[in-house]
Structure 1
Amino acid sequence: MHKTDDTANVPEAFTALDLFGEPFALDPYPTLDALRQSSPVHHDPVTNLWLVSRYRDVRAVLLDPRTFHPDNAQQVAAPLTRRALLTLARARFTLPPALANNGGPTHRGLRALVTRFLDAHQVAAAVPLIDRTAEQLALDVREKIMVGAQCDLVKDFARVLPCRVLMELLGIRGVAPNALADWSDAALELFWGHPTPERQLHLVDQAIAFHAWLSAQVDGPATEGSLIAALRRHRLPDGTLLDPATAVSVCFFVFVAGHSTTGQLIATTLRRALEDGQAWRRATSEPGFAERWSDEVLRREPSVTSWRRTTTRDTTIGEVPVPAGAQLLLLLMSTGSDPEIFAEPEQLCPYRTNVRQHLSFGAGRHRCPGALLARTETARALRAAAYALPHLTLALDDTPPMLNLLSFRSPKRLLVQLG
């Protein structure tokens, strides 16, 4: 029989579970494995979240949008201080339901609009841009190393590539890529992190600046063919034009998801290839290997580690009764290591036949619309870096600190040197 939220019947490790703690960030797998085996639908009293860790249960939730709504997907993971909330209110910071947090009738049209900018045709057309950008960034990294400068693959490569590509695809002009990247990362930490009160105020200022810039773009002249131009023409199911606040919310989510999470995936993929050694070499010598390696990293160690849902009625998940209004945390990272689906899940097997069966991009009507772009950028980033820097190694004396937000995880830095 599966365990419920009665902590007396739950393994002792779960009663002290800290989803924001450093031990969980450094190595979440023992905890995820134990949850999946002993308490696959587990109520965490600290966060009041129901942790769903088994593949079949997570998939069932994702494919049932009537029982499990996405309304809480972008709620702050940790309470904000009164001062932070007042600062946001004075700035009229608001993010109406748009994409990931939209369970209403407007979602379908907005998703279709965004998908047009990220579909297979657009991604194929963007491949030369991705390759040029990745190759130039890799050459810049090599130059830095050759003159003896310290080089961080996260800051100098993984974080920059998806930002530049996304700006081109969506027709974004008039802002420095680094500024967009900083705003995007700050928004991610504010909504999904556990920042101190002092840190909250810094992040709030960044989020407000990002929101103000997006609002100005939505209100001002738009480049023809850009995402913002399309949003300004978009009509809702009742025939009315999309309101500016929701247009800003769409852009806000697209930038955060399209830049930050892809950069994190690239960073993790590069790290694992460098640690393996042979994978770094095979990325350039073996056709298709970079794509297969990226897919395996995505299965085992996705940058989006979890996602949230809320129950609309009393229900059961995997035989466990869950009340209406319950806040669910779907542990996507755990599902990629579920031995019911993936044999020897702890091993990175680039030729695993069912690798695409993972849930790292979600499933159903809210599956990530930028999945193909993220996969393409990651594989081509790996190939470009390995080609330009065949003898690259991780700095031996550096253990990368990990980004540990509620739903996002990746190395914060990757210091490298020539071996």
Structure 2
Amino acid sequence: MTSPALAFAGGTGAAGRGPAAGPGSSDTRDPLGLLDLFGDPFVRDPYPWLDLLRSESPVHQDPATGLWLVSRHQDVRRVLLDPDRFLPDNAQHAVTPLPVAVLRVLARVGFTLPPALANNGTPSHSGLRRVVTRFFNAQCVAAAVPVIERIADELLDAVRSQFGSTGGCDLFTSFAQVLPCRVLMELLGIQGVGPATLVRWSDAALELFWGRPPLERQLELAQLVADFHQWLTATVRSGTAPSGSFIAALARHRLPGGRPLDVETAVAACFFVFIAGQSTTGQLIATVLHRASAEPGMWPRVAGEAGLAEAWVEEGLRREPPVTTWRRVTAQATRLGGVRLPAGAQVLLMLMGSGSDPEVFPKPERMCPYRPNIRHHLAFGAGRHRCPGASLARTEAAVALRAAARGLPDIRPAAGTAEPRMLGLLSFRAPLKVAVEQP
């Protein structure tokens, strides 16, 4: 078992560091010395920084966080395909160290995330992964399409009502954020909690463990995360989950040697799946809606052109994935991209940077929905820890885009709105608002 202190207090962080200038600024210092992974210039437009990293320092140690930033496609892929040399143990550690007051909030409910899925390099991983993939395999995803379409239509009915009264709408909070949560709840048999609560809990966990919030905000987030963990623990312990639900499948699972899965690991698996299965998919949907509604001529095309919604989603995953980075730690001293990394090096894989690598994707800045090698992107990872929900996320985003384009054919980006504020966490990025209006 991993205690909250061990799992989260040892993260890296740069609390209090102010915004940095961009790589093209007049500052005469080394441009990469100005990089701030949480600063507004990087969050707003990371591509110049990612280009600079790939060309000047493809394996670069960030002095503010101590993380080794890996930005070339070939290097990122090598790390993902070698989980014995590059361990997943730090995948869910807090990037900003959690103060004692925050740890106390978590400790009061026995918060712990032992190795289960994303952070599991032990022999138990493959069996737990099989439990997850049974709910997200091709047959299940195909069967889920009518469910996704039904929920999308219900949400769009409410959106149209909002247009009738106000003339505008935010498609993130009213549609993109809610759709995958409701879908996940139906597919996994999640009961006893409402979609709004599950969204709030998930978003709080992302911000607490992957953000750089001040202490007061950390304490607010920790209480929400504690409530989430407490509800999960009570639900798993109760033994009353429906027989076809994800929680019931975990209860039936046996670890190597035939031992039943312990409650703590079952809760850790639920914690990860419930967040990854809806928060990141909502972020993907928000991104593709935002980009498609702003692209001249694209909105009517995705409504009627067969396969275009799927192709647009795939290109969005390449260029602007919701999961922008992921972490690994070296099991031993090794070389990567010509750079020697010591044992225990904290590695940050720049998934977004790998998707814009011109060595793999010519003219990466262009959105080309039918790019011939589009599936070579690494937005869902690769190898043993590749996202088991990738097919469902792709399908939900394509169905959502097509349904919105058909159900709201006359919308356009709201007049006078600049680029929306972006979610700026270490590993997650998406527009926080998709403001649209009808002419």
Using structure 1 for the length normalisation, give the TM-score: 0.96
Does residue 1:385 correspond to 2:431, yes or no?
no
C-alpha contact 2:91 2:327 (8 A) present in aligned 1: yes
Can you list the C-alpha shifts for 1:75-101, whole angstroms capped at 9, x where unaligned?
Answer: 001111210012111221111110000
Residue identity over aligned pairs, in percent, reads 60
Residue 405 of structure 1 corresponds to: 425
Residue 154 of structure 1 corresponds to: 172
Q: Give unmatched runs, 5+ long, in structure 1.
A: 1-9
Does residue 1:125 correspond to 2:143, yes or no?
yes
Can you list the C-alpha shifts for 1:141-177, whole angstroms capped at 9, x where unaligned?
Answer: 1110111164211100000000000000001112111
SS of 1:57's equivalent in the other structure is helix
Determine the C-alpha separation between the residues in 2 that align with 1:63 and 1:258. Answer: 23
SS of 2:241's equivalent in the other structure is coil
Deviation at 1:23, TM superposition (A): 1.2
Can you list the C-alpha shifts for 1:333-355, whole angstroms capped at 9, x where unaligned?
Answer: 00000011001110000111111
Does residue 1:98 correspond to 2:116, yes or no?
yes
C-alpha contact 2:167 2:438 (8 A) present in aligned 1: no
Runs ≥4 residues deviating over 4 A: none
Determine the C-alpha separation between the residues in 2 that align with 1:279 and 1:249. Answer: 41
Does residue 1:275 correspond to 2:300, yes or no?
no
Can you list the C-alpha shifts for 1:281-308, whole angstroms capped at 9, x where unaligned?
Answer: 1111211100000100110000000000
Residue 32 of structure 2 corresponds to: 14
Does residue 1:260 correspond to 2:279, yes or no?
yes
Residue 193 of structure 1 corresponds to: 211
Superposed, which structure 2 residues align to 1:52-131 within 5 Å?
Answer: 52-131=70-149
Does residue 1:370 correspond to 2:386, yes or no?
no
Residue 414 of structure 1 corresponds to: 434
Residue 265 of structure 2 corresponds to: 246
Can you list the C-alpha shifts for 1:393-418, whole angstroms capped at 9, x where unaligned?
Answer: 11122231100000000001111101
Determine the C-alpha separation between the residues in 2 that align with 1:84 and 1:25. Answer: 26
Which residue of 331, 339, 347 maps to 2:350?
331
Q: Which residue identity lines up with residue 196 of structure 1 in the other structure?
A: P
SS of 1:94's equivalent in the other structure is coil
SS of 1:139's equivalent in the other structure is helix
Residue 197 of structure 2 corresponds to: 179
Residue 315 of structure 1 corresponds to: 334
C-alpha contact 2:168 2:414 (8 A) present in aligned 1: no
Q: Which residue identity lines up with residue 427 of structure 2 in the other structure?
A: S
Q: Give unmatched runs, 5+ long, in structure 2.
A: 1-27
SS of 1:403's equivalent in the other structure is coil
Please provide the CA RMSD for this pair.
1.1
Determine the C-alpha separation between the residues in 2 that align with 1:54 and 1:248. Answer: 35
Determine the C-alpha separation between the residues in 1 that align with 2:70 and 2:118. Answer: 19
Q: Which residue identity lines up with residue 227 of structure 1 in the other structure?
A: F
Using structure 2 for the length normalisation, give the TM-score: 0.92
Residue 47 of structure 2 corresponds to: 29
Q: Which residue identity lines up with residue 71 of structure 2 in the other structure?
A: S
Determine the C-alpha separation between the residues in 1 that align with 2:340 and 2:181. Answer: 43
Which residue of 305, 309, 321 maps to 1:290?
309
Does residue 1:237 correspond to 2:256, yes or no?
yes
Q: Which residue identity lines up with residue 327 of structure 1 in the other structure?
A: Q
Q: Which residue identity lines up with residue 329 of structure 2 in the other structure?
A: T
SS of 1:211's equivalent in the other structure is helix
Can you list the C-alpha shifts for 1:46-67, whole angstroms capped at 9, x where unaligned?
Answer: 1000000000000000001111
Of 302-311 and 216-225, the range deviating more from structure 2? 216-225
SS of 1:402's equivalent in the other structure is coil
Can you list the C-alpha shifts for 1:244-270, whole angstroms capped at 9, x where unaligned?
Answer: 010000000001101100000000000
Determine the C-alpha separation between the residues in 1 that align with 2:315 and 2:298. Answer: 12
Residue 47 of structure 1 corresponds to: 65
Residue 5 of structure 1 corresponds to: none
Residue 368 of structure 2 corresponds to: 349
Determine the C-alpha separation between the residues in 2 that align with 1:411 and 1:85. Answer: 30
Residue 214 of structure 1 corresponds to: 232
Deviation at 1:277, TM superposition (A): 3.0
Residue 340 of structure 1 corresponds to: 359
SS of 1:304's equivalent in the other structure is coil
Residue 3 of structure 1 corresponds to: none
C-alpha contact 2:315 2:369 (8 A) present in aligned 1: yes
